[in-house]
């Protein structure tokens, strides 16, 4: 438990939909330092709600989150803004996650500026960030829609890692990318994790992607975690019927 | 197998940019062909050209012939189309029943109200039961998978000979994907439809397709029977796509095989083979000379380094 | 950018009027309200006074050109003020939500229910005629349009991922609202602002016509009013400035259409490859 970076207990947030509810219906899990944990779920399972709760974009109805020793859900106001640097997010659609009128340079400078860095230092850090994710300075003056999907996602990763977070939440980070580019981004993410020692909370509906990146996985169904454990273990011997049906449905090449 | 449609030397240009460059394609009657490609490969445009639905500013050359037909096929009647996002292909303010019945009425004459029973029957054929109840529902009440089924029903309403499905399952959850793939398979067989599947997802295509055509930057890189391409790919791009496909059926590797670089900008293609900047087997020849097609239409490869079949 | 014939014509007309307005003190120096010649000179009779003179012998062309300064500058200033103030209020209301939104929007409703012209009339009568009172009066009635448009855009932008991304980075709310959201939300307000210029021209003309304008400055409305007494014989004294008003307002409207067309596809740019 002391190695635990994040511990979630009974986290709950429901939204009425039709005659029932969607959202998160009380989940428990933990993430250790340096670990990659995957959250697997279909649409409507509550996975996006989970991400938004962790990122404090929406307030929980119930539950407790312990992040880096603090009671995360009760941090508010200016304290929250200061603490946010430790928990960052990469959104699913890199196009909608950027201000369409902001240049890449400005997008990358934002997190450093918010940390209070001066102009020259910000520029230095922006250049470092570009190199770290494998991009060139030529991109600095471009707008988000002028670069490719893979490049956009690299920018999103660089932006999220600028504050040196301990935990990075990634919401379907490669789903919107071309197939021949996905592996590049996943390899980049692993290299960055090895260099920085941060943890990843990787949300995906794609079990093949999950297997490639995650040490442990959580299966989310209708707001509850129905199965959890080491990735290879669950994929080889799924216990819960939902997990079994998910695995059976994945198309295979061979 | 007799040919339903033959496409020869199709090129599509927008202003000064050529987005499809000389595609040859034959669809056999009753067969399932997958057009595999990523962004900018020209796969969707090729399908639109086939259906006669390209935008007005597209400049098209080449020949699309339909042996065995006297008149050109009508999109919607002789060619059914299914797109990626069912929410945007369904009218949000009309009931599902009305939309399907309108398609029937448009092709057969009369008022749509006369076709309600048939619309209900179509809905049941795509797995929405009871069909009569679904008639009065609006699209927003349905899940993504159900909406795609409705879209398929609408595509089938004109009793087409050819069904073109452009990324039909990309926006769906994995279990729904599997069900839609099953549906397409069973409908294709029941109605002896010719199916053209357009997708970037090799694994999904592998569930349905018999023939595969691989597109890159508006050109055909390789084509042939699915199983042969999967096990003995001759083009480095095909091999790369297979290698980078994360597949549960294969053992996990720590570093994932990747294809370096990014997709080319169609307005700025280098001379020679478009895949050269990213190809592991590239040579000087590749950068200068466009490889010629080796093989027959629908079965061959365009690569200087491909071994003879 | 393809420019239609009508748009080009409108731009040309507005260009001429604006140039005339800007260069007035140089091309036709002196006081436009000075009596310079024989009264009721017909247009084209004397080439020194190409458009003739009015009842009091004042040069019609000089008054027209100087009047353009008043009309266009008041209209532009008023529309600018209304758009800027309205956009900021709309952004605050849309982004903050809650009671801020309710209060600001009820305030907008209050201003909206009073007819533009009546409010302008009342304000000018109370404050006294001057260019700044005009700008204030017209601005006060026109800010609600941009405010509501911008608020609507902000409400839809607020739900977009990039706003969440900024929140996650720890960006303070006011910075997100003004630096990230506002620039993306003003498109429709700018298009409306252009239309506001046109209606401001008309309001200013009407106020001057009623004699509420600055008596020391030539203005189109005043010219039209003055021409009434000799309408039967010298109808052109009212018609010429009237035509100028129509030309100006119409040109602005046409250009506003073109502007909104130009802005609209750019906002959708970047959607789906």
Asked if the C-beta of B87 comes within 8 angstroms of chain A's C-beta atoms, the answer is: no
Tokens of C224: 């039209």
C164-210 confidence digits (pLDDT tens): 999 999 999 999 999 999 999 988 888 888 888 888 888 888 888 88
| Angle at CA of residue B61, ends B56 and B67, nearest 5° | 105
Chain A positions touching C269 (Cβ under 8 A) are 100, 145
pLDDT at A1: 45
Chain B positions touching A184 (Cβ under 8 A) are 258-260
pLDDT at A17: 85
**Bridge partner list, A209:** none
Report CB contact under 8 Å: C184, A97. no
Q: Are C149 and C155 in contact (CB under 8 A)?
A: no
Tokens of A65: 């989150």
pLDDT band of A68, cuts 50, 70, 90: very high
Q: Are C68 and C221 in contact (CB under 8 A)?
A: no
Asked if the C-beta of A78 comes within 8 angstroms of chain C's C-beta atoms, the answer is: no
Least confident of A152-161, A243-252, B1-10, C23-32: C23-32
pLDDT band of A151, cuts 50, 70, 90: very high
- Asked whether the predicted pLDDT for residue C70 surpasses 60, the reply is yes
Q: Are B23 and B46 in contact (CB under 8 A)?
A: yes
Q: In terms of CA atoms, which chain A residue is nearest residue C164?
A: A57
pLDDT at A232: 94
CB contacts < 8 A, A to C, total 61
A194-225 confidence digits (pLDDT tens): 999 999 999 999 999 999 999 999 999 999 99
CA distance A149 to A107: 16
- Asked whether the predicted pLDDT for residue C143 surpasses 50, the reply is yes
pLDDT at C266: 56
CA distance B221 to B36: 10
| Angle at CA of residue A233, ends A28 and A87, nearest 5° | 40
Q: Are B75 and B81 in contact (CB under 8 A)?
A: yes
- Asked whether the predicted pLDDT for residue C271 surpasses 50, the reply is no
CA distance B125 to B298: 32
pLDDT at B40: 83
A90-123 confidence digits (pLDDT tens): 998 878 899 999 999 999 999 999 999 999 999 9
The per-residue DSSP string of C115-146 comes to: -HHHHHHHHHHHH-SSHHHHHHHHHHHHTHHH
What is the distance of C-alpha B115 from the center of its chain? 30
CA distance B186 to A120: 63
Tokens of A88: 């960052």
Q: What percentage of residues in chain C have a pLDDT greater than 70? A: 95
The per-residue DSSP string of C151-167 comes to: HHHHHHHHTSHHHHHHH
The helix (run of H) or strand (run of E) holding residue C77 is: helix C60-96
Report CB contact under 8 Å: C269, A100. yes
- Asked whether the predicted pLDDT for residue C273 surpasses 50, the reply is no
- Asked whether the predicted pLDDT for residue C162 surpasses 60, the reply is yes
Chain C positions touching A91 (Cβ under 8 A) are 161, 164-165
Q: In terms of CA atoms, which chain C residue is nearest residue A114?
A: C171
Tell which wins on pLDDT, A151 or C226: A151
* Residues contacting C172, CB < 8 A, separation 6+: A81
- Asked whether the predicted pLDDT for residue C60 surpasses 90, the reply is no
CA distance B238 to B206: 14
Partners for A (CB, 8 Å, 3+ pairs)? Answer: B, C
CA distance A220 to B305: 47
Of the candidates C3, C148, C157, the one whose C-alpha atom is nearest the C-alpha of residue C89 is C148
Decide the pairing of beta strands B299-301 and B294-296. Answer: antiparallel
Report CB contact under 8 Å: C270, A95. yes
Report CB contact under 8 Å: A99, C180. yes
The per-residue DSSP string of chain A comes to: -TTEEEEEEEEEEEEEETTEEEEEEEEEEEEETT-EEEEE--TTSSHHHHHHHHTTSS--SEEEEEETTEEGGG--HHHHHHHGGGEEEE-S-TTTTS-TTS-HHHHHHHHHHHTT--HHHHHHHHHHHHHHTT--GGGGG--GGGS-HHHHHHHHHHHHHTT--SEEEEESTTTTS-HHHHHHHHHHHHHHHHHH--EEEEEES-HHHHHHH-SEEEEEETTEEEEEEEHHHHHHS--SHHHHHHHHHS----
Least confident of A178-192, B99-113, B202-216, C4-18: C4-18
Asked if the C-beta of B251 comes within 8 angstroms of chain A's C-beta atoms, the answer is: no
Burial class (CB in 10 A: 0-12, 13-18, 19+), B252: middle
Tokens of B27: 């669809």
Of the candidates C127, C198, B249, the one whose C-alpha atom is nearest the C-alpha of residue A250 is B249
Report CB contact under 8 Å: B200, A178. yes
Partners for C (CB, 8 Å, 3+ pairs)? Answer: A
**Bridge partner list, B163:** B80, B195
Q: Are B126 and B80 in contact (CB under 8 A)?
A: no
pLDDT at C255: 85
CA distance B246 to B228: 19
Q: Are A220 and A46 in contact (CB under 8 A)?
A: yes
Q: How far is A153 from chain B (nearest CA, A)?
A: 13
B26-81 confidence digits (pLDDT tens): 999 999 999 999 988 999 999 999 998 999 999 999 999 998 888 888 888 889 99
Partners for B (CB, 8 Å, 3+ pairs)? Answer: A
Main-chain dihedrals φ then ψ at residue C165, nearest 5 degrees: -60, -40
CA distance B5 to B52: 13
- Asked whether the predicted pLDDT for residue C263 surpasses 80, the reply is no
- Asked whether the predicted pLDDT for residue C265 surpasses 60, the reply is no
Look up the ipTM and state it.
0.90
Residues of chain B with pLDDT under 50: none
**Bridge partner list, B194:** B162
pLDDT at C264: 66
pLDDT at A210: 94
């Amino acid at each position: 438990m002391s190695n635990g970076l994040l511990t979630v207990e009974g986290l709950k947030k429901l939204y009425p939909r039709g005659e029932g509810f969607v959202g998160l219906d009380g989940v428990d899990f933990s993430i250790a330092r340096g670990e990659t944990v995957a959250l697997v779920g279909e649409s409507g399972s509550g996975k996006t709600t989970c991400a938004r709760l962790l990122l404090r974009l929406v307030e929980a109805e119930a539950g407790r989150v312990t992040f880096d020793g603090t009671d995360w859900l009760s941090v508010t106001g200016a304290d929250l803004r200061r603490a946010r640097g430790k928990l960052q997010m990469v959104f699913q659609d890199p196009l909608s996650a950027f201000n369409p009128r902001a240049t890449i340079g400005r997008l990358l400078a934002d997190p450093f500026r918010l940390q209070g860095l001066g102009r020259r230092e910000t520029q230095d850090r922006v250049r470092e960030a570009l190199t770290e994710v494998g991009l060139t300075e030529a991109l600095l003056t471009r707008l988000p829609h002028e670069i490719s999907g893979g490049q956009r996602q690299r920018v999103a990763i660089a932006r999220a890692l600028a504050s040196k977070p301990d935990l990075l939440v990634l919401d379907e980070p490669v789903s919107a990318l071309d197939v021949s580019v996905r592996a590049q981004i996943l390899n980049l993410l692993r290299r960055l994790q090895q260099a920085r020692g941060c943890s990843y909370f990787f949300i995906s509906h794609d079990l093949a992607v999950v297997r490639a990146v995650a040490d442990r996985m959580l299966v989310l169904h209708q707001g509850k975690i129905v199965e959890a454990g080491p990735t290879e273990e669950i994929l080889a011997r799924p216990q819960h019927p939902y997990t079994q049906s998910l695995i059976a449905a994945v198309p295979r090449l061979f | 197998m007799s040919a339903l449609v033959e496409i020869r030397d199709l090129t599509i240009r927008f202003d000064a940019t050529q987005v499809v460059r000389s595609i040859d394609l034959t669809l056999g009657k009753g067969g399932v062909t997958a057009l595999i490609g990523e962004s900018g490969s020209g796969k969707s445009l090729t399908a639109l050209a086939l259906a006669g639905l390209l935008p007005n500013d597209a400049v098209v050359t080449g020949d699309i012939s339909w042996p065995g037909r006297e008149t050109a096929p009508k999109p919607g009647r002789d060619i059914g189309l299914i797109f990626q996002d069912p929410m945007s292909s369904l009218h949000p303010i009309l009931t599902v029943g009305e939309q399907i019945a309108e398609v029937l009425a448009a092709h057969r004459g009369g008022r749509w109200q006369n076709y309600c029973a048939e619309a209900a029957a179509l809905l049941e054929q795509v797995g929405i039961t009871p069909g009569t109840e679904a008639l009065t529902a609006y699209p927003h009440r349905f899940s993504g998978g159900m909406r795609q089924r409705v879209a398929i029903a609408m595509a089938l309403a004109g009793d087409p000979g050819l069904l073109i499905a452009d990324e039909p399952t990309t926006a769906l959850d994995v279990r729904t994907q599997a069900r839609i793939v099953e549906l397409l398979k069973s409908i294709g067989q029941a109605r002896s439809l010719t199916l053209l599947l357009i997708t970037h997802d090799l694994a999904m295509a592998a569930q349905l397709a018999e023939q595969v055509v691989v597109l890159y930057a508006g050109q055909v890189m390789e084509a042939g029977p699915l199983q042969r391409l999967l096990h003995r790919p001759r083009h480095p791009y095909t091999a790369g796509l297979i290698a980078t496909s994360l597949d549960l059926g294969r053992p996990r590797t720590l570093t994932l095989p990747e294809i370096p670089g990014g997709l080319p900008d169609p307005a700025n293609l280098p001379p020679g083979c478009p895949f050269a900047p990213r190809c592991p087997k590239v040579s000087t020849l590749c950068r200068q000379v466009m490889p010629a097609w080796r093989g027959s239409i629908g079965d061959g490869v365009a690569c200087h380094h491909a071994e003879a079949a | 950018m393809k420019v239609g014939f009508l748009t080009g014509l409108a731009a040309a007309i507005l260009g001429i009027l604006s140039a005339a307005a800007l260069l007035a003190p140089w091309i036709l120096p002196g006081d436009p309200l000075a009596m310079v010649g024989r009264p009721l000179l017909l247009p084209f009779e004397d080439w020194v006074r190409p458009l003739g003179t009015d009842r009091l012998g004042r040069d019609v062309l000089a008054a027209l050109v100087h009047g353009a300064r008043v009309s266009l500058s008041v209209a532009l200033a008023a529309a600018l003020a209304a758009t800027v103030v309205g956009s900021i209020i709309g952004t605050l209301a849309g982004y903050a939500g809650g009671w801020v939104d309710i209060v600001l929007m009820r305030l907008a409703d209050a201003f909206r229910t009073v007819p533009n012209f009546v409010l302008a009339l009342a304000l000018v009568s109370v404050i006294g005629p001057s260019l700044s009172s005009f700008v204030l009066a017209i601005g006060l009635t026109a800010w609600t349009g941009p405010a509501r448009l911008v608020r609507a855009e902000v409400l839809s932008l607020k739900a977009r991922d990039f706003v969440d991304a900024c929140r996650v980075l720890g960006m303070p709310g006011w910075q997100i609202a003004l630096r990230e959201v506002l620039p993306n939300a003003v498109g429709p307000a700018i298009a409306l602002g252009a239309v506001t210029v046109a209606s401001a021209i008309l309001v200013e003309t009407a106020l001057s016509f009623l004699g509420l304008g600055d008596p020391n400055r030539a203005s189109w409305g005043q010219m039209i009013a003055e021409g009434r007494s000799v309408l039967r014989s010298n109808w052109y004294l009212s018609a010429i400035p009237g035509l100028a008003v129509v030309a100006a307002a119409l040109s602005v409207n046409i250009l506003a259409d073109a502007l909104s067309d130009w802005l609209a596809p750019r906002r959708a740019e970047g959607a789906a490859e």
